[in-house]
């Protein structure tokens, strides 16, 4: 490379590096997670150490989800909803709700799932479950309580399915209160802190041809409803 | 005692599986750091493993190709495919893997699958 020449890296090379680095980080996360599980399996472990190990597990799990989000975000650019598999979001959302507590082993998490529809076919591939799980993780991270309750619902919205999650104790961050999530991109990253998961969910919903909304519920400061909309399968 | 062949190119992952599986009473029959070594060791061994834990991204030969090669020798061989690459699941199952675990997974999930396969065999 000539002196003073700008460094140009092709998107393909960047994607390859992101993918490879992501893969290696997941391998390391696997080792951290498993050795922590090994420590926790000792029946003589004192409660304080046990608590620390559980918190560490929670952070490894969250780091895993964030890493996967980055990898998927890179792939989202190339997503074509027309070529995606149809998925039933009722079992996918139920499974995501069931798994939610695994990501926060140091806290009491309850996720109540309900759906009037027995089956809700949408365009979304395996990403549909990831989206719901991400949405629910966001609802928990917006709540600092030890005990967290989240309600997950699927509703028919005409051409699309709405999957909403509500946490009555969660705090709606000031940037979200303004309404339009897309304006967050104009803000300094220091003020958009704690919103990475929400930005990811919105970006992926858009890539799938659906939508994402965050709004307050209940009192002025407390109560958040996040809603994902996914296009129904078979509708042009 | 259920015997296991561990195939992964990362030494620390091989050591991790070995530590945990030995603690849970499994016999580690062997280890391999790439698909080709796994196939060679499998073919040369008279004592076949009950279960193979197979990674995907490895030098020389990947996990899918190694699984296919092993299945050609023994179509009833039990292979648990583990990978940080979730998009490879279909290919792994098509190659003959009976189980797939995306990394990182809980060790209890691996043990549960190992026990289920041991009971079947």
Identify the residue among A18, A19, A22, A34 best suited for mutation to test binding to B, counting B beta carbons within 10 A and taking the highest: A34
Token representation of residue B81: 């495919």
Q: What pLDDT band is residue B44 in, cutting at 50, 70 and 90?
A: very high
CA atoms within 13 A on the CB side of A171: 10
Q: What is the count of residue pairs from A and B with beta carbons less than 8 Å apart?
A: 40
Question: Of the candidates A22, A64, A126, which has its C-beta nearest B104's C-beta?
Answer: A64
Say if A4 falls within a structural domain.
Answer: no
Q: Is the pTM of this model over 0.95?
A: no
Q: Please report the pLDDT score of residue A144 as a whole number.
A: 83
Domain that includes residue A15, residue range:
11-76
Question: Of the candidates A23, A31, A64, which has its C-beta nearest B16's C-beta?
Answer: A31
Burial class (CB in 10 A: 0-12, 13-18, 19+), A150: buried
Q: What is the mean pLDDT of chain B?
A: 91
What integer is the mean pLDDT of A169-182? 77
Q: What pLDDT band is residue A31 in, cutting at 50, 70 and 90?
A: very high
Identify the residue among B104, B107, B108 best suited for mutation to test binding to A, counting A beta carbons within 10 A and taking the highest: B104
Window 4-33 of B, Cβ < 8 Å to A: 10, 12-13, 16, 19-20, 23
Q: Is B104 on the interface with A (CB under 8 A)?
A: yes
- Residues 6+ away with beta carbon under 8 Å from B18: B6, B28, B31
Query: Which of A12-26, A199-213, B24-38, B65-79 shows the lowest per-residue confidence on average (mean pLDDT)?
Result: A12-26
Which superfamily does CATH assign the domain made up of B3-120 to?
Answer: Response regulator (3.40.50.2300)
ipTM: 0.79
Q: Please report the pLDDT score of residue B41 as a whole number.
A: 96
Q: What pLDDT band is residue A70 in, cutting at 50, 70 and 90?
A: confident
CATH number at residue A107: 3.30.565.10
For B104, which residue in chain A has the nearest alpha carbon? Answer: A30
Q: Which residue has the tokens 């990362």?
A: B10
Q: What pLDDT band is residue B84 in, cutting at 50, 70 and 90?
A: confident
Using the 8-state DSSP alphabet, how is residue A5 labeled? P
State which H helix or E strand residue B5 sits in.
Answer: strand B3-7
Q: Please report the pLDDT score of residue A79 as a whole number.
A: 66
Residue A164 sits in the same domain as residue A107: yes
CA distances from B71 to A166, B55, B102 (A): 48, 16, 21
Residue A159 sits in the same domain as residue A69: no
Q: What is the mean pLDDT of chain A?
A: 83
Residue A97 sits in the same domain as residue A212: yes
CB B48 within 8 A of CB B19: no
> What are the structural domain ranges in chain B?
3-120
Number of structural domains chain A divides into: 2
Residue A214 sits in the same domain as residue A99: yes
Query: Which of A75-84, A89-98, A101-110 shows the lowest per-residue confidence on average (mean pLDDT)?
Result: A75-84
Q: What is the pLDDT of residues A110-121, one digit of tens each?
A: 999 999 889 999
Calculate how close chain A gets to B86, using CA atoms only, in Å.
10
Residue A184 sits in the same domain as residue A69: no
CA atoms within 13 A on the CB side of B102: 11
Tell me how far apart the alpha carbons of residues A60 and A56 are, in angstroms, rounded to a whole number.
6
Residue A88 sits in the same domain as residue A26: no
Q: Please report the pLDDT score of residue A77 as a whole number.
A: 66
- Residues 6+ away with beta carbon under 8 Å from A114: A151, A152, A153, A154
CB A172 within 8 A of CB A216: yes
What integer is the mean pLDDT of B60-80? 95
Q: Please report the pLDDT score of residue A202 as a whole number.
A: 86
Q: Please report the pLDDT score of residue B97 as a whole number.
A: 95
Q: Please report the pLDDT score of residue A49 as a whole number.
A: 92
Q: Dihedral of the CA atoms A46, B20, B108, B94 (nearest 10)?
A: 160
The answer to whether residue A187 scores a pLDDT higher than 70 is no
Q: What pLDDT band is residue A164 in, cutting at 50, 70 and 90?
A: very high
Token representation of residue A142: 């917006």
């Amino acid at each position: 490379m000539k002196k003073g020449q700008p460094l140009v890296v092709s998107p393909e090379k960047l994607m390859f590096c992101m993918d490879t680095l992501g893969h290696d980080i997941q391998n390391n996360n696997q080792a951290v997670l498993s050795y922590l599980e090994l420590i926790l399996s000792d029946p003589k472990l004192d409660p304080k150490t046990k608590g620390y190990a559980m918190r560490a597990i929670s952070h490894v799990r969250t780091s895993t989800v964030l890493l996967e989000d980055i990898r998927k975000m890179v792939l989202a650019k190339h997503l074509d909803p027309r070529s995606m598999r149809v998925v039933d979001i009722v079992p996918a959302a139920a499974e995501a709700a069931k798994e939610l507590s695994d990501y926060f082993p140091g806290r009491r998490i309850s996720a109540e799932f309900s759906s009037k529809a027995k089956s809700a076919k949408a365009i979304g591939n395996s990403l549909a479950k990831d989206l719901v799980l991400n949405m629910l993780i966001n609802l928990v991270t917006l709540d600092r309580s030890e005990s967290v309750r989240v309600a997950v619902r699927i509703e028919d919205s005409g051409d699309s399915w709405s999957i909403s999650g509500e946490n009555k104790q969660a705090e709606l961050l000031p940037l979200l209160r303004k309404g339009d999530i897309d304006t967050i991109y104009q803000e300094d990253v220091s003020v958009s802190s704690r919103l990475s998961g929400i930005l990811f969910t919105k970006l992926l919903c858009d890539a799938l041809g659906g939508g994402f909304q965050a709004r307050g519920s209940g009192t002025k400061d407390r109560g958040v409803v996040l809603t994902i909309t996914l296009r129904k399968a078979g509708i042009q | 005692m259920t015997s296991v062949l561990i195939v992964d190119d990362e030494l620390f992952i091989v050591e991790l599986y070995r530590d945990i599986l030995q603690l849970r009473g499994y016999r580690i029959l062997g280890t391999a750091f790439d698909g080709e070594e796994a196939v060679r060791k499998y073919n040369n061994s008279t004592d076949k493993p009950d279960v193979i834990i197979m990674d995907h991204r490895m030098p020389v030969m990947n996990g899918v190709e190694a699984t296919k090669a092993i299945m050609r020798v023994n179509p009833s061989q039990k292979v648990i495919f583990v990978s940080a690459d979730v998009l490879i699941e279909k290919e792994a199952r098509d190659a003959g893997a009976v189980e797939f675990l995306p990394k990182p997974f809980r060790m209890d999930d691996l043990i549960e699958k190992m026990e289920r396969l041991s009971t079947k065999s």
